[in-house]
Chains A and B, each alone.
Chain A
Amino acid sequence: GEDVEQSLFLSVREGDSSVINCTYTDSSSTYLYWYKQEPGAGLQLLTYIFSNMDMKQDQRLTVLLNKKDKHLSLRIADTQTGDSAIYFCAEYRLTGGGNKLTFGTGTQLKVEL
């Protein structure tokens, strides 16, 4: 189908790791992105991965890509209360005239003390 799917909610304790999962649809997607959205704010780019990679690490963030299963995950190590937000995965798709990002539904991460 056309949809990029994510689970809607995730709750973790401060200090634990969080893993947010995403299933995308277009096997020809070249880039896959993770964006963070805090309440009342726009989208903040967290990280991205090129489709010929299977892992990317950036400080507390680890992105894993399983291209065969079209599965993307974001792991946040040592999760903090400031990580509470909605996390969107997005796949970059070429359209007939250009390009666009297709977003997942977003996963709301709640970090509890």
Chain B
Amino acid sequence: GAGVSQSPSNKVTEKGKDVELRCDPISGHTALYWYRQSLGQGLEFLIYFQGNSAPDKSGLPSDRFSAERTGGSVSTLTIQRTQQEDSAVYLCASSYRQQETQYFGPGTRLLVL
């Protein structure tokens, strides 16, 4: 079946603008994860959803970052007032259940000018 999809694949924005990144998990997967990959920090965990709730938001780097998930499916990661240090690849993953193997999407490459 279809894998995890993310949109847009690339996003260029100006400093101070808001951006929304979207993730469509594998159908039937109840758990969804956001990670960030940047040159300086490697791969970092951001947030995890089980269904529509987010029991672990520990990785969100600041209050400019938020995420939601509706209908137990699509998730949106929003970055407000983007900064240049937000430039990174944002990866989404899903798993059938918590504690099961995570499958990753292709990522969204964000560049903040």
Contact = CB atoms under 8 A, between A and B. Distances in A.
Nearest to A90: B43
Interface in A17-35: 30-31, 33, 35
A95 B43 CA distance: 17
A19 to B, nearest CB: 21
Given A42-B91, A106-B42, A95 B58 contact: yes
A42 B56 contact: no
B98 A99 contact: yes
B102 A101 contact: yes
Interface residues of B, number: 25
A98 B56 contact: yes
Contacts of A99: 48, 56, 98-99
B45 interface: yes
Interface stretch (B14-22, B62-70, B71-79, B104-112): B104-112
Contacts of B35: 101, 103
Contacts of B91: 42-43
A88 interface: yes
B67 to A, nearest CB: 14
Nearest to A35: B104
Residue of B43, B56, B105 with highest tally of chain A CB at under 10 A:
B43
A103 B43 contact: yes
B59 A100 contact: yes
A108 interface: no
14 contacts: A31-B99, A31-B101, A92-B99, A95-B58, A97-B55, A98-B56, A99-B56, A99-B99, A100-B59, A101-B45, A103-B35, A104-B42, A106-B42, A106-B43
The 4 A-B pairs of least Cβ separation, nearest first, read A97-B55, A97-B56, A103-B43, A43-B104
